[in-house]
Chains A and B, each alone.
Chain A
Amino acid sequence: MDNDEERLTRQLDLARQLVGHLEVGNEDAASNVIRQLRIPYERELFDELGKLTRDLHEALNSFRGDSRLVELTRDEIPDAKERLHYVVSMTEQATHRTLNAIDEAMPIAESLHARSAELTESWVRFRHRELSVVEFREFARGLDVFFVASGEETERLRSLMSEIMMAQDFQDLTGQIIRRVIRLVHEVEENLVGLIRLSSARMEPSRVVQSANEAEDATVRGQGPIVPNTHDAVADVVSGQDDVDALLSSLGF
């Protein structure tokens, strides 16, 4: 309050001086007084401007420091796209593998069914003593052929079913890849939220950068399947079971 009063008295005083100077036509003295009158307002303006500049500087710095976001856009997003493409082609392959096996198995099953129905019919006629000697001979020959063929064909069916079962491994492999992409999307989201927070009035420092770094030192943690044309290609990976066996045997396995 005292300060305000002091300021007011001083300004009134200056105003009176200004009027005095103007009345006698002393321009130099008048503009000097005007400058003095402006000082308190200018100081406030400069203070505010300084604060704004500092805020802007800090915001730019922390944005530049958050290189994770840049890394995400430049490397991780295209990498994730490649992973998702790979998932599409893996699921496509698995479906074809399954359908191919079914395409082969279905006619085998149908033919087995038809031949056993035929033989059943002859068998019923035989039981009713309706078969002639010639027909019986043919029936016996047919049975011989059927026994051998059905053994082979059911074995083939078994192996086709096993093929269908193994084709389902795509769910695990693509699932691991998709989970990895979900983690990335989540990270991008967190970074974007951080960016919004940064550009809003409240200058909270983003904690997002830390969580990104945590994930990085985990080389020995599970990564999921190797996806071609991604960062995985750079890593030192084995190309298949033979490679694994060679590596293990070099370790004395």
Chain B
Amino acid sequence: MKILIVDDFSTMRRIIKNLLRELGFNNTMEADDGSTALPMLKNGNFDFLVTDWNMPNMEGIALLKAVRADPDLKSLPVLMVTAEAKRDQIVEAAQAGVNGYIVKPFTAETLKEKIDKIFERIDAQ
């Protein structure tokens, strides 16, 4: 399971990377915004994307839309981990095809729960 973590704050990337390692996901890579993440996703054979929303250049929502619009990436599971808490934004992310949405600050349990749920759903399909 190869996971890409996208957040403009390196501290948050480290936290998510550590949490994923605790959950048994050791193969992770990092990107600091959507515009660096997208080329990595295109060539990287990633199985899962964890992304922030509020980032310079290309925001997480734009990255999500770009992923869904790309024929090779469109079925990539995307989990949004963000401080954005407006209902409109959550609805927009849902409509853009996000697989899970976590608001910061979050707990290790929430992350595990959402990831489990995403894979349960994928396995059920």
Contact surface of A with B, Cβ cutoff 8 Å: 162, 165-166, 168-169, 171-173, 175-176, 219-226, 235-238, 240-241, 244, 247-248, 251, 253
Give, as a whole number of angstroms, the nearest-CB distance from A179 to chain B.
Answer: 9
| CB <8 Å contact, A168 and B15 | yes
**Number of A-B residue pairs having CB atoms within 8 Å of each other in the complex:** 92
Question: Which bracket fits the contact residues of B?
Answer: 35 or more
Asked whether A173 and B105 contact (CB < 8 A) given A221-B59, A244-B90, A248-B90, the answer is yes
Docked Cα-Cα span, A224 to B54, in Å, equals 6
Please give, as numbers and ranges, the residues of chain B lying within 8 Å of A225 by CB-CB distance: 83, 85, 104
Please give, as numbers and ranges, the residues of chain A lying within 8 Å of B104 by CB-CB distance: 169, 172-173, 225
A166, A224, A235, A248: the one within 8 Å of B107 (CB)? A166
| CB <8 Å contact, A236 and B87 | yes
B22, B60, B87, B92: the one within 8 Å of A162 (CB)? B22
Q: Using a CB-CB cutoff of 8 Å, which residues 74-92 of chain B contact chain A?
A: 82-92
Please give, as numbers and ranges, the residues of chain A lying within 8 Å of B61 by CB-CB distance: 220, 222
B15, B86, B90, B107: the one within 8 Å of A223 (CB)? B86
| CB <8 Å contact, A172 and B103 | no
Docked Cα-Cα span, A219 to B89, in Å, equals 9
Judge whether B29 is part of the interface by a CB distance below 8 angstroms: no
Please give, as numbers and ranges, the residues of chain A lying within 8 Å of B87 by CB-CB distance: 236-238, 247
| CB <8 Å contact, A244 and B102 | yes
Please give, as numbers and ranges, the residues of chain A lying within 8 Å of B92 by CB-CB distance: 220
